[in-house]
Amino acid sequence: MQLHLDNFTKRFDGTAVIENLDLTVNDGEMLALLGPSGCGKSTTLLSIAGIYRADGGRILFGDRDVSNLPSQRRNVGVVFQNYALYPHMSVEENIAFPLTVGKKRPSAEEVTRRVRETAELVHIEELMARKPAQLSGGQQQRVALARAIVRRPDVLLLDEPLANLDAKLRLEMRSEIRRIQLETGITAILVTHDQVEAMSMCDRVAIMNKGEILQIDAPTQMYRAPASRFVAGFLGNPPIVFLDGQTGPAGRFEMAEGLSLPLPSRLAGMPEGQPIALGLRPEHYGAGGGASAAGRVVFVEPQGREMLFDVEAAPGIVLRSIQPVRDDVGIGDRVDWPVDTERLLAFDSEGRTL
Amino acid sequence: MMTRNFSTLPLVALLTLVSLPLMVMYGFLILDTVTDAPPGELWPDRFTLEHWRFLFDTSVVGNVWQAAGNSLILALSMMVIVLSLSTTAAYAISRLHLPYRRLFLGGILVMHAFPAVTLLIGVFFVLNFTGLYNSMIGVILVKGALMLPFGIWIMKGFYDAVPWEIEMAGVQDGASRFTVWRRLILPQVKPGLVALGVFSFLDGWGEYLLPRILAPGSEMTVLSVFLNELIAGDQLGFDFNLFKSVGVFYTLPVVLLFIIFQDRLMNIFGGGTKG
Ligand SMILES: Nc1ncnc2c1ncn2[C@@H]1O[C@H](COP(=O)(O)OP(=O)(O)OP(=O)(O)O)[C@@H](O)[C@H]1O
Ligand SMILES: [Mg+2]
């Protein structure tokens, strides 16, 4: 079911946390709400769930305006960060609970059948008799997911579902949640502040900051063409390096600290003396390109398959490079590595992409 | 369970030593109810059930069963009133957006700390005015009112410890607020309910002052008052062993409840974080 936020506004004690937000999530799509802490992700999510009442605008599920409906009648499944399983109920009772409280209740056999079906979908058939306290984090996560989807909700909301898991489980549950979402075809919103999670699990990513959506795009597209400096800085690990300087003569970019690079050819016609910032991603430094930047290696971080180098190209200006593991460069060495200038990102003084 | 990183033996020894006189006294209390000692002697020389005859023979000290029944009514009423009102009121205070919530909370705290004795005269006038003076209902209402702040406060602590998310999840699953409370939240505060129930029962059972003052009529006598009147009324002569037997009879339910519920009673003072 398509989900649509139309001019949505939410205030807490008079201060607007979210103002006139527009957002459309397509039928069957999984969308990530990505943003720094306090930007209003949870607020948006809880408003869609009906736990917070919107202070303005409309929330539509398909053509149905649910803005004034209480949570109980919205048919939304929610997975909370701490799972919020009911501690006194067995796994089976937890999953069955949503089916036993609504207005129209299915028969006992129907409940059993659907609970079983859902448990099989999330792979917890053999845990049905246990209490939540007897489950591992990943298993609790699966139960929470099962409980959220057993009613076949119109929309599935996940608020930082992986934050409480350790790194390995997180990887596993990432693909599991995506698999289950794809199999059920439920429209879903994932709230996270982990960009890897957002990019790997979702069809589209919406980047939020201070209650505003800055950009919505498919993950690769957003990574390649961020709309602003904020978005560029938010995506990418290791992060992008920003270089603040101005346009110089002959289509070059110059920094007060002494570093100078050719501008990407699409910007070659820019007038001289404009303040501008370049964004250089680590994979575009040291892996071929039309220009080069020399400097001294000040830090090396082996990551197993790759190595991360910090190169001081000018006093106080550190470029980052990620390359396949190599043993010939160490801290203190001077290097002269190529820069892929065509893939440099450029931003004006307001942070908009040029 | 806390790991022991020091020996508890000296502590246990000290506690035993300090409470020894108490233990000895309790020991003799029990012993004396089923034995007789020669005049002037400490150690009994014969076994007898003579002192327990008050259980069947109303001519000895009066009708002890009626008093026990009254005490039971008072204690059970306390349990019912305190449990039912505290669970609902505390939930409302802990979770719902009530107007004047803070004022209400402050009020409860003040009421809890307020010495009830100072209210007695006012309460007496109110009961007299409403015709509830010298009736069990009057005592129950007053005692209940005085106990409620404590009960509400305790239960609020238990409710506060239940995560909000459980409630949100319940509502999200389609349950009404009432269903959420009954099926999801109440089971979480059950340790508190058990403890508070026992506690209020015991408090009702042990109450002396209110029934003594507000319901002095003989058919309303509760056990505590009954016991007191045994000495005051000088009906016994010097049969202290009989007096001790009535005392043990009065204490027995308390001890029993404590033995059964001792672990769960501790919950009240733990703030409900565990369990
Ligand atoms: N119940 C509330 N009352 C008042 N202010 C609130 C309330 N809930 C959230 N806020 C404020 O709204 C803003 C957005 O909060 P929200 O919880 O949506 O952030 P978030 O993006 O989910 O952050 P995080 O990643 O830390 O969970 C914050 O500034 C927060 O202080
Ligand atoms: Mg949040």
CA within 13 Å, CB half, B169: 29
Helix (H) or strand (E) holding A342: none
**Which residue, judged by its Cα, is nearest atom 7 of ligand 1?**
A12
Those residues of chain B whose CB sits closer than 8 Å to some CB in chain A are: 163, 165-166, 168-176, 179, 183-184, 187-188
What ranges do the domains of chain B cover? 86-271
* Cβ-based neighbour number of residue B130 at 10 Å: 12
Interface touch B176/A72, C-beta < 8 Å? yes
Helix (H) or strand (E) holding A307: strand A306-314
CB < 8 Å to A75, chain B: 174
* Cβ-based neighbour number of residue B45 at 10 Å: 9
Which pLDDT value is given to residue B45? 83
C-alpha span between A20 and A22 (Å, rounded): 6
Measured in angstroms, how far is the CA atom of residue A24 from the centroid of ligand 1?
Answer: 22
**Which residue, judged by its Cα, is nearest atom 8 of ligand 1?**
A43
Q: Which atom of ligand 1 is nearest to the CA of A13?
A: 4
CA B166 to chain A, closest CA, distance in angstroms equals: 5
Which residues, other chains included, contact B80 with Cβ-Cβ below 8 Å and sequence gap of 6+?
A: none
CA A42 to chain B, closest CA, distance in angstroms equals: 13
Cα angle, residue B223 at apex, residues B217 and B224 outer, rounded to 5°: 95
Give the residue carrying structure tokens 């470029």. Answer: A319
| pLDDT per residue as tens digits for the range A283-336 | 999 888 888 899 999 999 999 899 999 999 988 899 999 999 998 888 999 999
Choosing from A9, A10, A17 the residue with most ligand 1 atoms within 8 A of its CB, the one to mutate for a pocket test is A17
- Amino acid at the residue B99: P
All domains in chain A, ordered by first residue: 3-225 (3.40.50.300), 241-347 (2.40.50.100)
Give the residue carrying structure tokens 């080069």. Answer: A292
C-alpha span between A238 and B158 (Å, rounded): 45
C-alpha span between A74 and A153 (Å, rounded): 9
* Cβ-based neighbour number of residue A81 at 10 Å: 16
Spatial strand order in the sheet of A3-12:
A15-25, A3-12, A56-61, A64-65
Give the residue carrying structure tokens 């919950």. Answer: B267
* Cβ-based neighbour number of residue A294 at 10 Å: 12
Ligand 1 site residues (CB inside 6 A) read A 12, 17, 35, 37-43, 193
In which residue ranges of chain A is pLDDT below 50?
none
- Under a CB-based contact definition with an 8 Å cutoff, are residues A145 and A122 in contact? yes
Which residues, other chains included, contact B268 with Cβ-Cβ below 8 Å and sequence gap of 6+?
A: B154, B192, B195, B196, B199
C-alpha span between A192 and A214 (Å, rounded): 16
Tokens of A114: 């659907």
C-alpha span between B90 and B94 (Å, rounded): 6
**Which residue, judged by its Cα, is nearest atom 14 of ligand 1?**
A40
Which pLDDT value is given to residue B229? 83
Predicted complex: ipTM over 0.85: no
Backbone angles phi, psi at A59, to 5 degrees: -120, 120
Tokens of A30: 């999984």
Calculate the alpha carbon distances from A281 to A81, A165, A254, A258, B175 in Å: 32, 29, 18, 20, 50
pTM of the model: 0.83
The answer, for A53 touching chain B at a CB cutoff of 8 Å, is no
Residues 150-189 of A with CB under 8 A from B: 151
- DSSP for A183-204, please give it: HHT-EEEEEES-HHHHHHH-SE
**Which residue, judged by its Cα, is nearest atom 30 of ligand 1?**
A38
Which pLDDT value is given to residue B1? 46
Question: A351 exposed, middle or buried (CB, 10 Å; 0-12, 13-18, 19+)?
Answer: middle
Architecture in CATH of B86-271: Orthogonal Bundle (1.10)
- Under a CB-based contact definition with an 8 Å cutoff, are residues A323 and A306 in contact? yes
* Cβ-based neighbour number of residue B158 at 10 Å: 28
Measured in angstroms, how far is the CA atom of residue A82 from the centroid of ligand 2?
Answer: 12
Report the SS3 class of residue B256.
Answer: helix
Measured in angstroms, how far is the CA atom of residue A42 from the centroid of ligand 1?
Answer: 7
Measured in angstroms, how far is the CA atom of residue A61 from the centroid of ligand 2?
Answer: 22
Which pLDDT value is given to residue A177? 94
Tokens of B171: 């509502």
- The β-bridge partners of A155 are A76, A187
The answer, for A289 touching chain B at a CB cutoff of 8 Å, is no
Q: How many CB contacts within 8 angstroms connect chain A with chain B?
A: 61
Tokens of A96: 């069955």
In which residue ranges of chain B is pLDDT below 50?
1, 272-275
The answer, for A86 touching chain B at a CB cutoff of 8 Å, is yes
For CA atoms A201, A207, A213, A214, give the dihedral sign.
Answer: negative
The answer, for A77 touching chain B at a CB cutoff of 8 Å, is yes
Backbone angles phi, psi at B266, to 5 degrees: -60, -25
- Amino acid at the residue A308: L
**Which residue, judged by its Cα, is nearest atom 6 of ligand 1?**
A12
Helix (H) or strand (E) holding B145: helix B136-160
C-alpha span between B131 and A197 (Å, rounded): 71
Measured in angstroms, how far is the CA atom of residue A49 from the centroid of ligand 2?
Answer: 14
Backbone angles phi, psi at A300, to 5 degrees: -130, 130
The answer, for A237 touching chain B at a CB cutoff of 8 Å, is no
- Under a CB-based contact definition with an 8 Å cutoff, are residues A193 and A35 in contact? yes
- Among the bound ligands, the one closest to the CA of A193: 1
Residue A87: closest CA among B79, B135, B274: B274
- Amino acid at the residue A42: S
Residue B164: closest CA among A78, A95, A211, A90: A78
Report the SS3 class of residue A78.
Answer: strand
CA A182 to chain B, closest CA, distance in angstroms equals: 22
* Cβ-based neighbour number of residue A274 at 10 Å: 15
Question: A136 exposed, middle or buried (CB, 10 Å; 0-12, 13-18, 19+)?
Answer: exposed
CA A215 to chain B, closest CA, distance in angstroms equals: 29
Say which of A71, A72, A86 has its CB closest to residue B184.
Answer: A86
The answer, for A131 touching chain B at a CB cutoff of 8 Å, is no
Q: Which atom of ligand 1 is nearest to the CA of A39?
A: 21
**Which residue, judged by its Cα, is nearest atom 16 of ligand 1?**
A40
C-alpha span between A115 and A109 (Å, rounded): 10
Interface touch A151/B172, C-beta < 8 Å? no
| pLDDT per residue as tens digits for the range B75-128 | 999 999 999 999 999 999 998 888 888 898 888 888 888 887 888 888 999 999
